[in-house]
Amino acid sequence: MLNRVITVASTLTSRIPGKAGVWRGVWSRYGIRIFGTVWLLVFTLPVRGDKLQFNRDIRPVLSDACFRCHGFDAATRKGGVRLDLRDDALKPGKSGATPIVPGKPDQSEVVRRLYAPDPDELMPPRESHKRLTAEQKATIRNWIQEGAVYEGHWAFQPIARPEIPWAGQARDAPLGHQPIDAFVSATLRAKGLPLAGRTDRTTLIRRVSLDLTGMPPAPEAVAAFEVDERDDAYERVVDRLLRSPRYGERMAQDWLDAARFADSNGYQVDRDREAWAWRDWVVGAFNRNLSFDQFTVEQLAGDLLPGATFEQRIATGFHRNHMSNEEGGIIPEEFLAEYCADRVETTATVWLGLTFNCARCHDHKYDPFTQRDFYGLYAFFHNITEKGVGDYGSHYRRSTPPWMLLPAPELETALGRLNQDLSDESAVLTNLASQVLLNAADWERQVTNAHVTWQKPWLLHPHVSSNGVTEVGLESVLNLRSLDTNLVVFSATLRIPLSSVSALRFELSRNHSEVAGSTNRIGVRELRVWRVDGPLTETNALAVRPRSIETGAPTDDVAKALDGKTNTSWQAVFTTNGAVVACVDFLRPLPGSGQVLLKIELEASASETNWPWRLAVEATSTPLDWLATPEVRGILLKPVVDRKDEDQKKLGAFRLAQSPVYEAQRLRVEGVRGRAKEKENALPVTLVMQEMDQPRETFVLMRGAYDRKGERVMPSTPGMLPAFSSELPRNRLGLARWLTSSSNPLTARVMVNRLWQSFFGVGLVRTAEDFGVQGEAPSHPELLDWLARSWMERGWDIKWLVKEMVTSETYQRASKFSKESATIDPENRWLARGPRFRLSGEAIRDQALSVSGLMVGQFGGPAVRPYHPSGIYEQVVAGSSADTYVQDKGANLYRRSLYTYWKRSVPNPSLLLFDRPFRETCAVRRARTSTPLQALNLLNDPTYVEASRALAQRMIREGGLTEERRVRHGFRLVTCRQPNPAELRILIQGLRRAAASFAADYAAAEALVKVGDSVRATNLDLVELAAYTSVASTLLNLDETLTKE
């Protein structure tokens, strides 16, 4: 990101025309033009056998330059010329000219047009911005000369059963020389590249441990392996690692990228979702070595298996991992289409290695797939009992059905108790109702005659916190002023000249003389009322009920100021020149002797600073219960005989609402109901697939638009691939079985390739996500087929396949670059040396936690929230909500990175820096960048500062008494090997320099070793600990540490 620097701007003006364009111009200025040329020759020309091969030499060129207009998509085909099929290419086009005449390039229109001097005739046309090199043109010409032999695209051909190319007899192969090595050696012999030898045991055990468990080996394991002279010592290590439960966590990491797994919904407000049970299922499936075909079936269609188990239904969460939208105002159907398309694209990428998204709007431009094929697959996924839009109104766990409850015994017991309480309290309420409704005639008389008059009290002793100003104004109005927007606390005493008080009326208003007509608000967090002429301990606050002034009916708004909760408030919003009014009445009228003395206290904040407002209070002795709504009054005016049932119900409901006793009980019931609801919402869930009883109809969507329906389609698989057996059900289960049938040419190859990529850094097919025509051909096609075929024959046994790879000689080679391999094959596609790549972000952090001894190895469960920079949520989250990252405490700070909370809109920044995909869509290949921001992260993130300190503690305590022994111990913990003398010298010098520096600055030493929540060893010298912390940080930042070597 920081690395494209100065030269580009100057190249804007100094380009030299030519095929290498800008870059050649740049190189020549630096005298390295020759390298560019060599480089081009070496890497753009395929290794040539005797004869040109269509798939290797011709198809990539035609596909890139010609198929857009002369390929599979009939809608955009030009001139009636089709070049992807031989039969068509040999037929004349609309112009009458024949594109390809085998053996006769000079009569072939293709050749004529490739070399046409007239720019209007030249192919590819100018507007395509594609150009062929002279080399490419010549290759096509020669191929036509040789007879223009076509081959089907390699990936769509049945998986072959190649002979293993042993150099001699198979039984003569040296120990550890496996079929993989035979295939690789055969190619290497042909290229004349020298082979690297086996790497040393220390490097090897670190390499294989990081690959199979995502963690470095324990020092004891390294030591034991280094001296284990048994023939099968390495195999034993591999078997042990494959049995480790950490293996499942490591393997899950790549699968979670592919499955776009995350802990939030991804759109707009991006609320959380709960799907960790699915993630744990994946870890478990790898650990118990569930065969890949069954792994596929359970995730795509576990719910459709006969007698589907609970676990198999959890597995179906795979296709609920897509993003989900809850935004108000979206059109559900539009997003249903989005989810289904995502499922098609993900399925196609993960199992078929095909870029099906291209076929969503039109037939595929490069691969033989139609838009109809896309919607045929779409139909399999279109019958889920889901809604296109989530529901902000419901709890996040319940917002996007279908979901399934997970067992939670403690919560369930508590919920059971609450439900029992609820039914008990409800019974009491029913009883109360029948009592309250007695004596209807008396009540009607009372209500009909009721009239409320409000009395202004005397306001005494106004008081305000230091950030406010107050004074008593005319008409018993309290003039107030908030100096800032923080909470201001006001209090005053009311002397009310009444013999009893049954209700108070509060009126908040703006001071119009000072405020312009903009919108402001006052948030009243708490409103408290005490008696002062009775004992002060006797508080009536709880007895206060909020009422609407117009009708006397209960309201919720003011209740928020009376609930004793500091996180709720009564929001008085002023948009026009009105006042905001609320009434509270007491459960029982407060008696007095001619007057009642009350104290009120208000905690409120204004939306503006230095903002004037007013509070007026009045009181009445008339119970507000007696106030009837206009509707109730209307009913009361009717003679009883004229009233409808409905009228009587309304009267009953009103009367109940007016009864303090009934109301109190009702609130109690609501309280219990609320707590029960809360518990119920706390029950964990996991998102699952569930089929609709009546399937939705599926149509081709024109240009992919949800509201432009074309022809109707039934569930079907792409016509180009082996047929969908009539014995299979036409649902997701059938689809899963079709994907894993032995005749499917793609699934096994695609998965083998991804596993290869996991261990060797680059797939045999580099474009792991694209096995189509535009993807790259395999470097070792026979090896790929042999692995895929053998794997299927062994029942898709994943651990067998993994072991086959990591026990190969090819895997075990040293990863040093030789001169030849660095120049001829810098990317190591021919595998002459072992893999050497930067670790994933997850592995880098897990390794630091592990070698420092901080790691907490607990498996599974809800996501955890480790250290995280503050403030990055606040800038971007919705509205004015205080959504922030709440960091965990204790053990959850040190769990494996697999469990780190992943919010799609603001993903964990350090994992993102190390190229973890956003997890918004399927990703099967990670970038591997090297940036300065990564360096800053590893140097300064508390995660690594704390790990350095913890590692320093281990160095001091476990290493021995001398500097050298301690440094050696740390070096070995981190890299597994011993430092060489030069390394040791640098580290010890660094240690002494740091120690001297910290000795002169004790406060700095103390500050450094304080970072992090974990307990610091108290019996260590702080200066010494700080110095070792600095050295430990050096160790954790070594290139070697960050690299699988």
Pairwise CA distance, residues 435 & 662, whole Å: 9
How many CA atoms lie within 13 Å of 141's alpha carbon, on the beta-carbon side?
14
Stretch 406-465 residues interacting with another protein (CB under 8 A): none
Least distance (Å) from another protein to the CB of residue 883?
9
Q: Is 610 in the site for another protein (CB under 8 A)?
A: no
Strands (E), 607-695: 611-620, 685-687
Eight-state DSSP code of residue 478? E
Least distance (Å) from another protein to the CB of residue 88?
22
Q: Is 932 in the site for another protein (CB under 8 A)?
A: yes
CA nearest neighbour of 657 among 454, 451, 447? 447
Interacting residue with another protein among 49, 578, 826, 960 (CB under 8 A): 826
User: x/- site string to another protein, residues 317 to 336, per CB under 8 A?
Assistant: ------x-x-xxxxx-----
Q: Within the chain, how many helices (H) and strands (E) appear?
A: 38, 17
Interacting residue with another protein among 723, 827, 886, 1013 (CB under 8 A): 827
Q: Is 753 in the site for another protein (CB under 8 A)?
A: no
Q: Is 918 in the site for another protein (CB under 8 A)?
A: yes
Q: Is 931 in the site for another protein (CB under 8 A)?
A: yes
Least distance (Å) from another protein to the CB of residue 9?
6
How far is the CA of 1045 from the CAs of 51, 206, 237, 241, 934, in angstroms?
A: 39, 8, 17, 18, 19
Beta carbon nearer to another protein, 640 or 1007: 1007
Stretch 61-120 residues interacting with another protein (CB under 8 A): none
Segment near another protein (CB under 8 A); pick from 150-158, 310-318, 546-554, 772-780: 772-780
User: x/- site string to another protein, residues 361 to 400, per CB under 8 A?
Assistant: ----xxx---------------------------------
Q: Which residues contact 835 (CB under 8 A, 6 or more apart)?
A: 207, 759, 760, 761, 811, 815, 828, 1044
Instruction: Respond yes or no on whether the N-terminal peptide bond of residue 722 is cis (omega within 30° of 0).
Output: no
Least distance (Å) from another protein to the CB of residue 557?
18
Segment near another protein (CB under 8 A); pick from 19-27, 207-215, 530-538, 855-863: 19-27
The sign of the torsion formed by the CA atoms of 204, 205, 210, 212 equals positive
- SS3 for 724? coil
Q: Is 21 in the site for another protein (CB under 8 A)?
A: yes
Q: Which residues contact 1040 (CB under 8 A, 6 or more apart)?
A: 975
Q: Is 59 in the site for another protein (CB under 8 A)?
A: no
Stretch 480-519 residues interacting with another protein (CB under 8 A): 517-519
Interacting residue with another protein among 439, 453, 694, 880 (CB under 8 A): 880
Q: What are phi and psi of 285, to 5 degrees?
A: -60, -40
Kindly write down the DSSP assignment for every residue of 63-86, as one continuous string: HHHTHHHHSS-GGG--TT---SSH
Beta carbon nearer to another protein, 23 or 626: 23
Interacting residue with another protein among 545, 904, 968, 969 (CB under 8 A): 904
Least distance (Å) from another protein to the CB of residue 990?
4
Q: Is 609 in the site for another protein (CB under 8 A)?
A: no
Pairwise CA distance, residues 124 & 65, whole Å: 6
Stretch 210-249 residues interacting with another protein (CB under 8 A): none
Beta carbon nearer to another protein, 380 or 706: 706
CA nearest neighbour of 732 among 257, 274, 258, 308? 308
Answer whether 863's CB lies under 8 Å from 901's CB. yes
Helix (H) or strand (E) run with residue 709 in it:
strand 709-713
Stretch 981-1000 residues interacting with another protein (CB under 8 A): 982-983, 986-987, 989-990, 993-994, 997-998
Stretch 675-694 residues interacting with another protein (CB under 8 A): none
Least distance (Å) from another protein to the CB of residue 145?
25
Answer whether 260's CB lies under 8 Å from 273's CB. no
Q: Which residues contact 895 (CB under 8 A, 6 or more apart)?
A: 856, 858, 864, 866
In the structure encoding, which two tokens stand for residue 158, read together? Answer: 């049945």
Least distance (Å) from another protein to the CB of residue 558?
21
Q: Is 876 in the site for another protein (CB under 8 A)?
A: yes
Stretch 118-147 residues interacting with another protein (CB under 8 A): 129
The single-letter code of the amino acid at 398 is R
Pairwise CA distance, residues 285 & 317, whole Å: 14
CA nearest neighbour of 944 among 837, 996, 866, 840? 866
CA diameter of the chain: 120
User: x/- site string to another protein, residues 567 to 606, per CB under 8 A?
Assistant: --------xx------------------------------
List the beta bridge partners of residue 572.
522
In the structure encoding, which two tokens stand for residue 289, read together? Answer: 């070595």
Least distance (Å) from another protein to the CB of residue 1044?
12
Q: Is 854 in the site for another protein (CB under 8 A)?
A: no
Segment near another protein (CB under 8 A); pick from 48-56, 97-105, 292-300, 871-879: 871-879
Least distance (Å) from another protein to the CB of residue 937?
5
Least distance (Å) from another protein to the CB of residue 979?
9
- SS3 for 14? coil
CA-based R_g, the chain, Å:
38
Stretch 945-964 residues interacting with another protein (CB under 8 A): 945
Judge residue 1003's burial from the number of C-beta atoms within 10 Å of its C-beta, 0-12 exposed, 13-18 middle, 19 or more buried. Answer: exposed
Judge residue 980's burial from the number of C-beta atoms within 10 Å of its C-beta, 0-12 exposed, 13-18 middle, 19 or more buried. Answer: exposed
In the structure encoding, which two tokens stand for residue 833, read together? Answer: 């040396």
Q: Is 150 in the site for another protein (CB under 8 A)?
A: no
Segment near another protein (CB under 8 A); pick from 152-160, 163-171, 185-193, 905-913: 905-913
Interacting residue with another protein among 73, 257, 270, 663 (CB under 8 A): 270
Beta carbon nearer to another protein, 276 or 867: 867
Task: Determine the size of the site formed for another protein (CB under 8 A).
Answer: 145
Least distance (Å) from another protein to the CB of residue 1007?
4
- Measured at the CA of 502, the angle between CA 497 and CA 508, to 5 degrees, comes to 80
Pairwise CA distance, residues 819 & 961, whole Å: 43
Q: Is 44 in the site for another protein (CB under 8 A)?
A: yes
Answer whether 536's CB lies under 8 Å from 496's CB. no
Segment near another protein (CB under 8 A); pick from 231-239, 506-514, 548-556, 930-938: 930-938
Least distance (Å) from another protein to the CB of residue 106?
29
Segment near another protein (CB under 8 A); pick from 223-231, 851-859, 885-893, 976-984: 976-984
- SS3 for 889? coil
Least distance (Å) from another protein to the CB of residue 469?
23
Stretch 1001-1040 residues interacting with another protein (CB under 8 A): 1001, 1003-1011, 1026, 1030, 1033-1034, 1037-1040
Beta carbon nearer to another protein, 286 or 902: 902
Least distance (Å) from another protein to the CB of residue 924?
10
Least distance (Å) from another protein to the CB of residue 652?
33
User: x/- site string to another protein, residues 338 to 357, per CB under 8 A?
Assistant: x----------x-----x-x
Answer whether 108's CB lies under 8 Å from 143's CB. no
Stretch 518-557 residues interacting with another protein (CB under 8 A): 518-521
Place of tokens 């993960």: 350
Eight-state DSSP code of residue 408? -
Beta carbon nearer to another protein, 6 or 75: 6
Judge residue 26's burial from the number of C-beta atoms within 10 Å of its C-beta, 0-12 exposed, 13-18 middle, 19 or more buried. Answer: buried
